[in-house]
Chains A and B, each alone.
Chain A
Amino acid sequence: KQEVTQIPAALSVPEGENLVLNCSFTDSAIYNLQWFRQDPGKGLTSLLLIQSSQREQTSGRLNASLDKSSGRSTLYIAASQPGDSATYLCAVRPSNDYKLSFGAGTTVTVRA
């Protein structure tokens, strides 16, 4: 059974600092890994999706890396802003199914 762990559970930084969020998974037989953002009381917003054959994906200030063999992904957010405050979830899709396994998330607070 796939286990997805996100560390740290919470993070508070001053505006302008770079953010580093970690996600690890136990079964490397994945199809892809996806990072989501969830604002309080809201649904999920997909940020980046990395296919198993890829090493990284970038979108604006966001960069996600994937090391499938070691079961790790990292989400980097450059020059953080108060608007980046949210919970960030990573989810892994297995290579032989469509069911996603989610981490518990990292709650980020960016202080102005």
Chain B
Amino acid sequence: GAVVSQHPSRVICKSGTSVKIECRSLDFQATTMFWYRQFPKQSLMLMATSNEGSKATYEQGVEKDKFLINHASLTLSTLTVTSAHPEDSSFYICSARDGTSGNTIYFGEGSWLTVV
């Protein structure tokens, strides 16, 4: 079946630095990808919708200048957390829409970010 790969699966960064998380669709082209965030013991919350070749659409309350999303190709979207703070420590997970397979949505494995 279709696979969405996320990298890195775990990352620790220092406060004030930036960290990039990649989301790749391995065997299909994803015109739309989604980024979610999950704080401990809470549900997944949609952060933004990433559209290939255009600007991402952010959900209310999500800082677009802090969470930079780039969808440069049909198989890759990146989320960059800029000037990370400890409160940005969370589980980030992406999903991708396969437009050729009934618009099925596939999830990546997720990335655990710890800011120290």
- Chain A interface residues (CB < 8 Å from chain B): 4, 36, 41-44, 46, 89, 91, 93, 98-105
Contacts and interface: CB of A to CB of B under 8 A. Distances in A.
A98 B103 contact: yes
A104 B112 contact: no
Residue picked from A43, A89, A101, A105, most chain B C-beta under 10 Å: A43
Contacts, number: 43
14 contacts: A36-B107, A41-B112, A42-B109, A43-B6, A43-B107, A89-B44, A98-B103, A99-B34, A100-B34, A100-B46, A102-B36, A104-B41, A104-B42, A105-B43
A93 B105 contact: yes
For chain B, the bracket of interface size reads: 20 to 34
Interface string B8-49: 000000000000000000000000101010000111111001
Nearest to B33: A98
Contact of B93 (A43, A98, A99, A103): A43
Interface in B76-107: 93, 95, 97, 103, 105, 107
A99 B43 contact: no
A36 B32 CA distance: 21
Nearest to B109: A43
A98 B45 CA distance: 14
Contacts of B36: 102
Nearest to A10: B41
A4 B45 CA distance: 12
B46 A99 contact: yes
Contact of A44 (B32, B42, B45, B107): B107
B34 A89 contact: no
Nearest to B111: A43
